[in-house]
Structure 1
Amino acid sequence: MPALVFDCDGVLADTERYGHLPAFNQTFDEFGLPVRWSDSEYAEKVKVGGGKERMKTLLTPEFVAEAGLPGDPEALNDEVARWHRRKTEIYTEIIRSGAIPARPGVRRLATEAHDAGWALAVASTSAEPSVRSVLEVAAGPELSPHFSVFAGDIVPCKKPAPDIYEFAVDRLGLEPSGVLVVEDSRNGMLSALGAGLVCTVTTSAYTGEEDFTGASLVVTSLGDPPPEQTVTRVLSDPLGSEPRSLVRLADLAFLLATGTDPATGPRPSR
């Protein structure tokens, strides 16, 4: 039984720009912190895995003094944890409002995989409540219970370290050769590749210009047929999967078989 494992933010929905960024800024405002991230600033922050870790990039000696924060490291960690809990609440409210739709093709492809007997999972360094709220929107109430969710601080090192995907593969009880990951960022791709997994990339708001060398397929979206009619644009297809207007389960099965056959290497285009 193969498995299809999605990252959350940027893959299930374009949540970074329209969910996480406003949630961070509202949190900063509520706590009276002298900071507000612009869109361009946040484009750099997303390269840091994990919400608490992004917040901790603020903690220069100058910022700590200006904000009147405690100097004791343990007390400062507790304060960041308070910020992050509130940020997660705000973010979850944004997602549950329905303001951020699922990205094209996610529910279609997950449904096709489930019907074909594939295991489904989400592996993310975001907080688990945040991930589950996005999954409910993206997959819907009928399909989302069929997903395993691996999220937050369940592993010591976050992406681009391979820990979260190694954990997911172990919990799913599968060999790496049977798992295909859908990511949107270079850090996520490196995490999947580091765990020995085949990775497809669907670029998102902040990641279109990143280097995805090593991915088996890079597309602008997974795509949807009419009436939604979102056509994918293929950016890189080194194994010749040729998904054309949208990515189907057969394309992913081809990548999984091709990408994990060291004896033959890449197969010719179909």
Structure 2
Amino acid sequence: MASMAVCYSLATLSSTKPLLSHKNTTSIANLKSHERTLQSSLVGTKIAISKITRPLSSRRLGTSSSEITCSASASPLPSALLFDCDGVLVDTEKDGHRISFNDTFKEKELGVTWDVDLYGELLKIGGGKERMTAYFNKTGWPENAPKSEEERKAFIASLHKRKTELFMALIEKKLLPLRPGVAKLIDQALAEGVKVAVCSTSNEKAVSAIVTFLLGPERAEKIKIFAGDVVPRKKPDPAIYVLAANTLGVDPSSCVVIEDSGIGLAAAKAAGMKCIVTKSGYTANEDFLNADAVFDFIGDPPEERFDLAFCRSLLKQYVS
């Protein structure tokens, strides 16, 4: 919506005598009607009011020494909506990624099992390969793991590749559903020409599978994916969101991010973006003090929590 500026002098609003003496002025009845129309048109719109004092030489007969200048603007649309994947698009962690990690460990006879609580702690580390490396460094590497650092990197990469294959099989069978409201919000954004991207620390193939199989190919072709090792540093580092803004050609301050975790929130805010948190199973009790808004989920009517209009409201600015 284009910005709107309205200006009335105090004389126009309070002094009727000069108005009655001029053949081209508006009648009192029409003026009141116009005021009612003005008030109606500004309902729900933020208004900035400033006083302007005119020099004596420029004052017109019957006007006050000051005028009220009102300017109002509708909030701009976001340039881009950037979604995290796991926990935002789909609540994948407990019954998706964790299960796939454990199945991989079992296949490779590593003697390792990540239970629900342990995996919740490991999620504080961004990235699956980084998660496994940190865990083995702390608890000890399996007996059948390589000894050198370079060989261990290749070993971790092979585990992660197999884990991704198992996870994608779950997604292709549609055993893990989209969270409520995700498709709705994406459709609203695409209909308004807002760019949509998914920014995740997960493997790019896994993220692409979620987008393609659960959101459908028509949406998928309009959604840019930034995932996995596309950046050298994972969340809470802002690198992936900075890359997304640069690639999409948008100002970070005009982007709204949908995240579910503390590390994702930290990454979005460090990139200079607005961030809405939709809490997931593992992140419900995390500290989201710096979030611009926090919800249990996005939601579809009649259980809708927010929509594109709410994302738009986060970017509202006063125009003087």
Residues 32-56 of structure 1 deviation map (CA, whole Å, 9 limit, x = unaligned): 1111000011111111100101111
Aligned runs of 1:6-155 on 2, under 5 Å?
Answer: 6-60=83-137, 63-64=140-141, 66-155=142-231
Amino acid in structure 2 at the alignment position of 1:90: L
Any gaps of 5 or more consecutive residues in structure 2? 1-77
TM-score by length of 1: 0.86
After superposition, the C-alpha distances for 1:217-260 in whole angstroms (9 at most, x for unaligned) are 100000111xxx5x2xxxxxxxxxxxxx42111000001335xx
1:172 and 2:248 aligned: yes
Matched, 1:208 2:267: no
Distance 1:178 1:127 in 2: 27
> Normalising by the residue count of structure 2, what TM-score does the alignment of the two structures yield?
0.73
Q: Which amino acid aligns with 2:194?
A: W
Which residue matches 1:255? Answer: 314
- Distance of aligned partners of 1:128 and 1:61 in 2 relative to their CA distance in 1, 3 Å threshold: closer
Q: Which has the larger radius of gyration?
A: 2
Report if the CA contact (8 A) 1:223-1:246 is conserved: yes
- CA gap of 1:61–1:192, structure 2 versus 1, over 3 A, is closer
Question: Aligned match of 1:162 in 238, 243, 268?
Answer: 238
Give runs of ≥4 in structure 1 deviating > 4 Å. Answer: none
Equivalent-residue separation in structure 1 for 2:282 and 2:84 (angstroms): 15
Consecutive unaligned residues of structure 1, counting only runs of 5 or more, are 232-244, 265-270
Equivalents in 2 of 1:106, 1:67: separation in Å? 43
Query: Over aligned residue pairs, what C-alpha RMSD do you find?
Result: 1.7
Does the 8 A contact of 1:106 with 1:138 survive in 2?
A: no
Q: Which amino acid aligns with 1:248?
A: D
Deviation at 1:61?
A: 7.6
Question: Partner of 2:135: helix, strand, or coil?
Answer: coil
Quote the offset at 1:8 in angstroms.
0.3
Relative to structure 1, the CA distance from residue 115 to residue 51 in structure 2 (aligned partners, 3 Å threshold; closer, same or farther) is same
Distance 1:205 1:61, change over 3 A: closer
Secondary structure, counterpart of 1:120 in structure 2: strand
Asked if the contact 1:4/1:121 (under 8 Å) is kept, the reply is: yes
Give 1:62 shift.
Answer: 6.2
Tell me what 1:223 maps to. 299
Secondary structure, aligned partner of 1:58: helix
